[in-house]
Amino acid sequence: MGVELGRRAAELSLYGLTTPLITTASGTKMGKTAQGAIWLNPDRLAPYDYYQFWRNTEDADVGRFLKLFTELSLAECDKLGVLRNAEVNEAKKTLAFEATKLCHGADAAEMAAETARQTFEQGVAGAGLPTVEVPLDELRRGIPAYELFKRAGLAASNGDARRLIQQNGARLNDQPVTSEARLVVESDLGVDGAIKLSAGKKRHALIKPA
């Protein structure tokens, strides 16, 4: 309407340009998350949470979002956009870092990336942790926590595993396991496709479905 008004009322030459509505690969409107809107003002949404929003981009959206929301070269965006499996996580980190840098500055982006690294990576997936495979259908039925700790090699026996849990020394995906009978199920699998078990502060193992 504005272009037309400019022409009719003021003899101005105006041009109108519209942007596409950005949807995700799974078909939802981008930015509609369970936590609410993804705000750009740091008082509304901390830079770390902004970073995590981008870090959780769907695999198939990475290349397109790099082009729209960072200033990396097209060649770089295309190269990162085709990565899959474990490698795609590096591309998502680049996307998260670059997007956060534009919105909140380089310092805030570096801090967010470092916090994410400490939270999710120290001693976790990919860092050569002992990995134990369990059949997926067993995980679907549910495996008692104490049994899984024994199978992961973090306890010598079932009794040892029960004691570990009773003494609050057992954690599952970095959350304390409060009941030895807690069933570990498929939905405990993280974004990396594994469940992280910890006994004390230093001993960790990964459970992966087979």
Which residues here bind other proteins, judged by CB under 8 A?
A: 3, 13-22, 29-31, 37-41, 43-45, 53, 64, 67-69, 74, 102-105
Nearest distance from residue 16's CB to other proteins, in Å?
4
- Contact assessment for residue 177 and residue 129, using Cβ atoms and an 8 Å cutoff: no
Distance of CA 16 to the CA centre of its chain: 37
Tokens linked to 10: 């003021």
Rank residues 96 and 155 by Cβ distance to other proteins and give the closer one.
96
Quote the DSSP letter at residue 206: E
Rank residues 69 and 149 by Cβ distance to other proteins and give the closer one.
69
Task: Give 29's strand partners.
Answer: 23
Select from 192, 206, 210 the least CA-distant residue to 87: 192
Helix axes 106-120, 88-104, angle to 10 degrees: 140
Rank residues 18 and 122 by Cβ distance to other proteins and give the closer one.
18
∠ Cα 91 136 119 (to 5°): 40
Rank residues 64 and 208 by Cβ distance to other proteins and give the closer one.
64
Nearest distance from residue 81's CB to other proteins, in Å?
12
Rank residues 17 and 210 by Cβ distance to other proteins and give the closer one.
17
Nearest distance from residue 32's CB to other proteins, in Å?
9
Tokens linked to 85: 């499996």
Nearest distance from residue 23's CB to other proteins, in Å?
11
Tell how strand 131-134 and strand 183-184 pair up.
Answer: unpaired
Nearest distance from residue 33's CB to other proteins, in Å?
9
